[in-house]
Every structure is written in structure tokens, then in C-alpha cells.
Chain A
Amino acid sequence: MSELTLTVMRLGFLAVLWLFVIVAVQVIRSDLFGTRVTQRGSRRGNDANRQQQTGRQAAAAAAPPPQRGQQQGGGGRQRRGAPTKLVVSEGTLTGTTVALQGQTVTLGRAHDSTIVLDDDYASSRHARIYPDRDGNWIVEDLGSTNGTYLDRTRLTTPTPIPLGAPIRIGKTVIELRK
């Protein structure tokens, strides 16, 4: 092999190695600045407003079928199709999901809770969500200091949870989904 070829290969290899590093850093860069500003549908108002809306609408349970894609498969009636998962939609745990498999879900700051709330307004054993004999999911406040809210009402007794109704504990909002 001629000296020239080897020198070219040597420098070429270093160049390729550095090119890889630079490409990788570019990927990180687009990861950092890649958040897109998206126009969302006109159906949603600001956040608080949306809470109110969903609350009111979920309370009005006599529901005609939905038209949105995500709800396909589930009919209009909430009785049909039991919820399969519990989703944290606001608060520090946003996006956490817990599959509902007939077990009791406990919520609170205590570290043995199913969902450990990192929330100054939550009590250590704040609330629990459990299925009754008919398979309805019930939320019960466990004597918390600041209360558990279903829609806008503070819970005093165990209450069935309509699908998609927000359960608010401090700054955390939880919903049941299909």
C-alpha cells in the first residue's frame, strides 16, 4: 500500500469519526429545540375552561356518540366498555398511566401508594379508586386534608367515576380512560 493512500485513509477515518460525533450532536440539538408550536383545534379553550367543559359534559351522561378519533370503539354510553386505564393528565406526574385490572388504586404521598403524589396539597393517604361488584369504578376520599374533587364537587361519599371525568387532588388531575 502506498504511503499516500494510507495517509488519506488515516485522515479520512478521523474525519468520519468526527462527522459521526457532529451528526449525533445535531440530533441532540434538534431534540432540544425541536418542540413545535402547534395550532390546536378550536374546540378547546384555555385550560381552566376546558376543565369546566369536560366536567359539565361528563356530568351530562346521556351522551350521543362522539365524533373524535380517540373514542372510536367505545360507544356513546359510558356503561358500555369499562375503563382500562387511569391517566394522570395534570400535575408533576403528567402522562403516567396505570392499567386498571380490578385492583384498588391508592393515591397519596405515602411511598407505598400505587400513584405516589409529589404534591404539597395531597395527604399521605389521600384517596383510593376501586371497582365495586358491578365493575363500576368508585373514588373514595380517605379523610384527606384538602379534599378530593370529582369535577368541581368535593367528595364526601364514595362516588362512581364517569369516564373521562377529572378527579382533582391538589395540583394533580386524574382521569379514567378506555
Chain B
Amino acid sequence: MSVVTNTTTIGAIEAPSRRNTELALLIFAVAIPVFAYANVGLAMTGKLPSGMLGYGLGLGLMAGVAHLVVRKFAKYADPLLLPLATLLNGLGLVLIWRLDQSPRLIQRAKNAWGKFSPDAPHQLLYTAIGVALFIGVLLVLKDHRILQRYTYISMAVALFLLVLPMFFPAVNGAKIWISIPGLGTIQPGEFAKIIIAVFFSGYLMVKRDALALASRRFMGLYLPRGRDLGPILVIWALSILILVFETDLGTSLLFFGLFVVMLYVATERTSWIVFGLLMSAVGAVAVASFEPHVQSRVNAWIDPFACYKTDKTGACQQIGDAILSFGSGGTLGTGLGQGNSDLIGFAANADFILSTVGEELGLAGMMALLLIYGLIVERGVRTALAARDPFGKLLAIGLSGAFALQVFVVAGGVMGLIPLTGMTMPFLAQGGSSVIANWALIGILIRISDTARRPAPAPAPSPDAEMTQVVRP
């Protein structure tokens, strides 16, 4: 009886919290943008830029505070998410600052509005708000399962946020902004993407058995029952409505894509992906055939150089310039501060910031940047795999899926793979809502990964374990 043996156990019994790894990577992630500042300054003016110390210290301070909060309140969180996000944000600040220095853009702004105001200080402020929100998420959200209680409330809030911009005037052809007097403009879609992921995960967690099991097999595909198709049809109709009324291809693609991704993950049925692709193709073609704003974007996508001179909206010229900038960058790029991507006058530091990366860092830098985005998505998916509760799994996959879709939609648009849409590159592009919302997204992912990677508590020894006497014959 009572086999007393030395057994080996494989597994993370005392899982390392990896906070020191995070700190080391974070220092690295702050050092890279500082190096980039020095590089831009030396290339453009021949001396070290005066703002370099301020931006470096600001970024380092925010990263340090965020790290300390993670160390205290999310001890077992993934060590990579924070450094990766910090690096992207820092590089974004450098690129925006670099475009602020461009004489062409300064001249252009003076011609258009009579004055020029640099965007980099604003972006630094938004970054600070974003990091504050990140810290707030970690402090307030002690357990991501709390969000599950707000499944249907978050649906209502997300729909409200999505519908809101319809009542505000269109900016540059797309109604995705709301303007608050005195505060500036907000892009509610950025926040809605997090909230709708909460709704989808709460909803699918409850309904996934019905969606997965009640199906008929037809031509190798599992076809869902008619009544189970209801929700996907509603979301599809909704994203089409967004496309028609707000003329925003990006948001509608993001929401429909997010729903299809989460449906697939929840049910493990390939048929949803087939349905989703078919439905989005039908919807996109139908809308593109009568909506002039979308139509001009599609024309610019098919052949930007055919309409380069004739197009009035400027869409063809933008995409043509972006493609030219990628071409002039080549493999290794022209070097930071030495490219001509500022020729894309409008939105050079927002939607088209990737063309600056492409020109000044070349294919090598572009690939590294896309890999960093890929790593963030990978850590999100890894968190989903490790999460123990179905809601956390779905939420993590939903948030990283939304992040991945957004990167794909923007990068694909700028590079001419898909028609261009008005979305921002997460963390990199100039824009307050985007930076703030994405920091909140990283905060929720860190919270889920903390719960997921927290080691299972060791079995409590029973109080009298040591006192049991084994009498051997």
C-alpha cells in the first residue's frame, strides 16, 4: 500500500512569470525608436534632433509604468505583448515625427489650411492616454470572465457606436468619425471592434453547440440549419448597411470577418468560412456596383496608373504614389528620413504610413514590421489556446482576429492587394482613437493571458499528510 516513490512530473509546476524577460525586451523596444530618431535627425538635418531625449524618455516612462503595473497585477501575463506593442507605437511616433519634418508636407498644410501643426506631440499625448487606459483595464478588469455578464449590453453598445457616425457629416467621403466640439473627432469603430468581440464570444459560447451539431452533410460540407443561419445573416446585413450608409469598406469587412472567424473557431465547421467568403464577395460586388465612393476606390485598385491624372478624388494618385514608394525603397530601403514618401500628400502619416516604412526601410524593414504584427497575433492565438474557459478562448481569438484583419485590410489596401479602405494601421498610424483602442485591446489580451498562464495551484496537502504512519510488514 501507499506507494512512496519518486515520480517525475512534466509541466510548469512553478511556471516562471517571465517578467524579467519582458523588462529586457521592453528596454530593447524603447531603444530601437530612439535609434530611429537619431537616424532621422542625422539624415535630415545633419545633427541629433533636440526632441529625441524627450520622446525617448516619454516612451520609456510609459513603458516602464505599464511594465510595473503588469508585474504587480498580471504577474503571469505573456511577456511579448507589451514590448511588441511598445515598439510599434514608438516606431509610429518616429515615422509621424519624420513626416512632420518634411518641407513638402509643411508647405502643403500651409497652402491648405494656412498653418502647419505637427502631429507627433498629439500622437505622444494619445499614446499616454492609451497606456493609461491599458493600465486601467488591468486594474479594473481583475478577471476577464466578468465581461461575459455584459454580452447583450455590449451588443447594444457596439451597434450604437457603429450607427453613431451616420448622423455626422462625412469626412473625406467616409462617415466613420463623430466630432465632439472642443475635443476633436473620435472614430467609434475602433472601440466597437473590442466591444463586439465581447458580444460574439458571449453569444457563441452559449450557442455554439446548436451551430456546430445541428447540421446536414451536403457535398462534403456541413450545412447549418436554416434557423441557425439567422445570426450570420443579421451580421451580414448589418455590415452591408454600414458599407452603404457610412461608405466604409474597412469597418464592414472587419466586422463580418471577425464574426466568421469566431464562428469558425467556435464550431470547427469549414462551411462557415465558405459561406462567409461567398456572402462577403456577393455583398462587396453588389455595393461596389452602385456606391460611387466605393467604386472610385475599386477603380484605383484595378489600375491606379490608368486614372492617375484624370481621377478627381485623388484615390488613384494616392495608391499610385504608394506603389511607387514601395518600388523606390527596394530591398534595403533609402534610409530613414531620406525617402520621398511625403509626395503622397494627403494622409501620408495615417492610412499611408506603411509606404514610408516601405520606402525608407525597404522590403527588409517591411517584413520585420509585418512579423512584429504577426507575433502580436500569434501571442493572442496562443493565449486563446492556453485559456481554460471557453469565453476567454473566444475573446482572445476574437481580439487577435480583429487585430489581424485590421492589419490585413490596411496593409493590403496600401500595397494594392485589395481596394483601399479608411482604416488605420494599429499603433503605427497617426490617430487618437486607434492608438487608445488598441492599447485597451492589448490590455484585455494581457489579462486573459495572465489567467491562462497562471499555474494551476498545487494540490493542497491534506492537513495530516505527514503524520500518516505506514506500517510495513
Contacts and interface: CB of A to CB of B under 8 A. Distances in A.
B462 A53 contact: yes
A6 B335 contact: yes
B375 A24 contact: yes
Interface of B: 2-14, 16, 18, 21, 25, 28-29, 32, 35-36, 38-39, 42-43, 46, 79-80, 83-84, 87, 205-206, 332-336, 338, 361-362, 364-365, 368-369, 371-372, 375, 378-379, 382, 388-390, 454-468
B2 A13 contact: no
Interface string A23-50: 1110110010011111110111110011
5 contacts: A31-B382, A53-B462, A54-B459, A66-B463, A96-B389
B373 to A, nearest CB: 11
Interface stretch (A56-64, A129-137, A139-147, A152-160): A56-64
Contacts of A45: 2-5, 7
Contacts of B39: 9-10, 13
A65 B16 CA distance: 31
A63 B463 CA distance: 6
A103 interface: no
Given A13-B39, A38-B8, 4 more contacts: A14-B362, A17-B369, A63-B467, A87-B457
A111 B205 contact: yes
Most buried by A among B6, B368, B379: B368
A101 interface: no
B364 A14 contact: yes
B464 A57 contact: yes
A54 B375 CA distance: 44
A113 to B, nearest CB: 12
A98 to B, nearest CB: 10
Interface string A87-111: 1010011111100000000000001
A34 B3 CA distance: 30
A21 B454 contact: no
The 10 closest A-B pairs by CB, nearest first: A95-B456, A10-B335, A63-B464, A63-B463, A45-B3, A57-B462, A17-B368, A68-B461, A54-B462, A164-B460
B62 to A, nearest CB: 18
Given A9-B39, A14-B333, A57-B462, A35 B368 contact: no
A27 B8 contact: no
B28 A50 contact: no
Nearest to B375: A24
B330 to A, nearest CB: 12
B368 A21 contact: yes
Contacts of B464: 57, 60, 63-64, 66, 76
Most buried by B among A16, A27, A42: A27
A174 B201 CA distance: 26
A177 interface: yes
A37 B362 contact: no
Interface string A157-178: 0000001100000000001011
B3 A11 contact: no
A74 to B, nearest CB: 8
A13 B335 CA distance: 9
Nearest to A55: B462
Contacts of B10: 35-37
B201 to A, nearest CB: 13
Contacts of B21: 27
Contacts of B459: 50, 54, 89, 175
A97 B389 CA distance: 12
Contact of A1 (B43, B334, B461): B43
A78 B464 CA distance: 11
Contacts of B206: 111
Given A17-B368, A40-B13, A49 B3 contact: yes
B465 A24 contact: no
B336 A13 contact: yes
A17 B32 contact: yes
A142 to B, nearest CB: 21
A110 to B, nearest CB: 10
B35 A13 contact: yes
A57 B462 CA distance: 7
B349 to A, nearest CB: 19
B209 to A, nearest CB: 10
A54 B79 CA distance: 36
B42 A9 contact: yes
Contacts of A40: 6-9, 13
A164 B80 CA distance: 36
A68 B466 CA distance: 9
B457 A177 contact: yes
Contacts of B465: 43, 53-54, 57, 66, 68
Contacts of A24: 25, 80, 83-84, 372, 375
Contacts of A9: 38-39, 42-43, 335-336
Contact of B368 (A14, A44, A70): A14
Nearest to A9: B39
Contacts of B457: 87, 89, 95, 97, 177
Nearest to B464: A63
A1 B46 contact: yes
Contacts of A53: 2, 462, 465, 468
Contacts of A34: 12, 16
